[in-house]
Amino acid sequence: MDPVKEIQLKYYGHSAFQLTKENTSLVFDPFITDNPLTAIKPEAIKCNYILVSHGHSDHLGDTVKIANQTGATVIATYELAGLVAKQGCKTYSLQFGGKVSFDFGTLRLTPALHGSGVPGGLACGFIVNFYGKTIYFAGDTGLFGDMELLGKSATIDYAILPIGGRYTMGPDEALEAVGMLKPQYVIPMHYNTWPEVEQSPTEFKSAVEKCYPKVKVMIIDPNQALILN
Ligand code: NI
Ligand code: MN
């Protein structure tokens, strides 16, 4: 990986992100090979941790390949971690509970209203404190009222929310979620990968910023990066 001084968030399209500072890099839901929005190959991704929200192929994606080629630790629920451990990956499993600590900061699993893609498992999201910035990665989820609790239990700097609809929240539900999470910034994901999840991120941005003038929506184009201030 290229060492970055600031905290950088790169978007590979769909729900695939890479969060990097200096020599520490976390990848979220690395759906790379079959991702029509991604410009790179999984071989090019270097990271220390891979956070996987659930077992559907558009999220688990290239996890096993990247973990085995880089030695990265896969962070996931017990059931999903067990599945990838059988394929040779180093894993760190947890369930909904308290914060756990890593060299980069803390991490907490959050509930997600969605299928897990693994027998007996649950889908999840993550609240990560990465070198002082708090990022909520919602994973695939419908709207749920306990987002209010998430907003109370952490001061969220960046909320990464799905807006595609059909399989997850659409723009109207994500707008409601913003009201409960009270983040400083919102980053939309899980849209325009395929016709089923076609949405306008600019319309979403206008709606959020009109309704919540203190919140800013940052649209990251696929294969572009944002510096987190
Ligand atoms: Ni899914
Ligand atoms: Mn999905």
- Are 80 and 114 contacting, i.e. CB atoms less than 8 angstroms apart? no
Span from the CA of 167 to the centroid of ligand 1 (angstroms): 7
Q: What is the CA(27)–ligand 2 centre distance, in A?
A: 16
- List the chain domain ranges: 7-227
Residue 162 CA to ligand 1 center (angstroms) comes to: 11
For residue 229, what pLDDT band results from cuts at 50, 70 and 90? confident
Which CATH architecture is the domain 7-227 placed in? 4-Layer Sandwich (3.60)
Q: What percent of the chain has pLDDT over 70?
A: 99
Q: How far is the CA of 140 from the centre of ligand 1 (A)?
A: 5
Q: Compute the distance from residue 53 Cα to the ligand 2 centre, in Å.
A: 10
Q: Which ligand is nearest to the CA of 14?
A: 2
Give the Å distance between the CA of 33 and the centre of ligand 1.
Answer: 17
Ligand nearest the Cα atom of residue 116: 1
Q: pTM for this structure?
A: 0.97
d(CA 106, CA 181): 18
Residues 155-172: pLDDT tens digits?
999 999 999 999 999 999
Instruction: Label residues 123-160 b or e (16+ Cβ within 10 Å = b).
Output: bbbbbbbbeebbbbbbbbbebbeebeebbeebebbbbb
Q: Strand pairing of 17-22 and 4-11?
A: antiparallel
| Ligand 2 centroid from CA 114, angstroms | 9
Q: If you average pLDDT over every residue of the chain, what do you get?
A: 97
Q: For residue 115, how far is its CA from the centre of ligand 2 (angstroms)?
A: 10
